[in-house]
Amino acid sequence: MSAVDHDEWLQRTREEAIDPDLPICDAHHHLWDGPGDRGKYLVDDFLKDASGGHRIVATVSVECGNMYRTDGPEGMRPVGETEFAETLASRASCGQSGGANIAAALVPFVDLTRGRDAAPVLEAHLSAGKGRVRGVRQSCTWDTDPSIISLAKGEGMMWDSRFREGFALLAKYGLTFDAWQYYTQLLELADLARAYPDTTIIVNHAGGPLSTGRHARRSREVQQEWKRGMSELASCSNVLVKMGGLGMARCGFGWHERAKPPSSAELAEAVRPYIHFCIQIFGVERSMFESNFPVDKVSYPYTVLWNAFKRLCEGASAAERAALFHDTAIKTYRLGDGGDVR
């Protein structure tokens, strides 16, 4: 499906924003500029997606392996992505975003398997980010099924001594760790969290449930293993969770293959078991919503996604809704409020 075709497909499900005055901090999205099929997704593109009526006041931009430096030491090349994102964020703060705090926090990539040698890379990101860098992410996704994308440097990377040597540096620099792994690796992540209780870990994409490849047609077993792992993580007071990312094809809902995107009511019903369990075990003080755009854009429009999240919080108190949609992310990433994206 071409970009134009996909935009037309997204328009087949259109909704007005529910509770449009509720402030939202989108705790996880990406900005990139090619190359290849994924093309560009810059501030203007995000603003277009987010212009459906929800009150987006701040966002967190997370690494996506884009715009690395093309020369210099290999370990330093990812600093180019921070330079790129900071430039976009600075331009947005000068009026491009209508006052919204787009990319108020940056979460770049650092190869922690470099051990102590990761220290100068962390310092370079902090310098390039000009006060926006709040944490780092190194994908630890790994699976035995070759049809499942694995980005880790082999099985058990979070147990690797060199990785942990690099991970230990995060507390020194006051940085958080955004954890991206699959549900089969949650116990490995829990062990890491217990070993480094002074480092805040934010679990991405609701803990990475899968329903494709070897995980297909095993929904009951997957949910049971996912619940065990997430419960172990919730017992670690330094761990929080981002709820979203379930629109990725590997999660197996198949929305991207339909004649039109799901409605927010349908979407809410489908992801309810994951979202409600996360809130139940982590509490609203350690749970936050994310769009994971433009990755999740393959499955639904931005306005519909946030409507689904709001439907899932019907019956919650005003304070609980404020925490889930805004306050927890603002506190975790140490942000101030921005303006509105309408």
**What are the per-10-residue average pLDDT scores of the chain (342 residues)?**
78 97 97 81 95 96 96 96 96 66 96 98 98 98 94 94 98 98 98 98 97 91 96 98 96 93 98 98 98 97 98 97 98 76 50
User: In 10 A of CB 336, how many CB atoms?
Assistant: 9
For CA atoms 294, 334, 162, 225, the dihedral sign is: negative
Class of domain 3-332: alpha beta
Query: Measured between alpha carbons, how far is residue 244 from residues 120, 275, 305 in Å?
Result: 32, 8, 9
* Beta strands, E only, the chain: 23-29, 32-33, 40-41, 55-62, 101-107, 135-137, 176-179, 201-203, 239-243, 287-289
Residues 6+ apart with CB under 8 A from 299: 247, 248, 249, 253, 255, 256, 261, 262
Two tokens at 214? 């070897």
Based on C-alpha coordinates, what's the Rg of the chain?
A: 19
Q: What is the pLDDT of residue 80?
A: 98
Whole-prediction pTM value?
0.95
Dist. CA 242–CA 85, nearest whole Å: 21
The residue written with tokens 């947005």 in the block is 92
Q: In what order do the strands lie in the sheet with 101-107?
A: 23-29, 55-62, 101-107
Residues 6+ apart with CB under 8 A from 102: 43, 46, 47, 58, 59, 61, 88, 89, 92, 93, 338, 341
Pairing between strand 32-33 and 40-41? Answer: antiparallel
Q: What is the pLDDT of residue 342?
A: 46
Dist. CA 7–CA 175, nearest whole Å: 37
SS3 258: coil
Query: Measured between alpha carbons, how far is residue 57 from residues 93, 284, 340 in Å?
Result: 12, 19, 5
SS3 58: strand
Q: What is the pLDDT of residue 99?
A: 56
The residue written with tokens 């310092």 in the block is 123
Question: Beta partners for 32?
Answer: 41
Closest CA to 104 of 32, 179, 174, 25: 25
Query: Measured between alpha carbons, how far is residue 254 from residues 74, 179, 301, 311 in Å?
Result: 38, 25, 15, 21
For CA atoms 303, 5, 272, 177, the dihedral sign is: negative
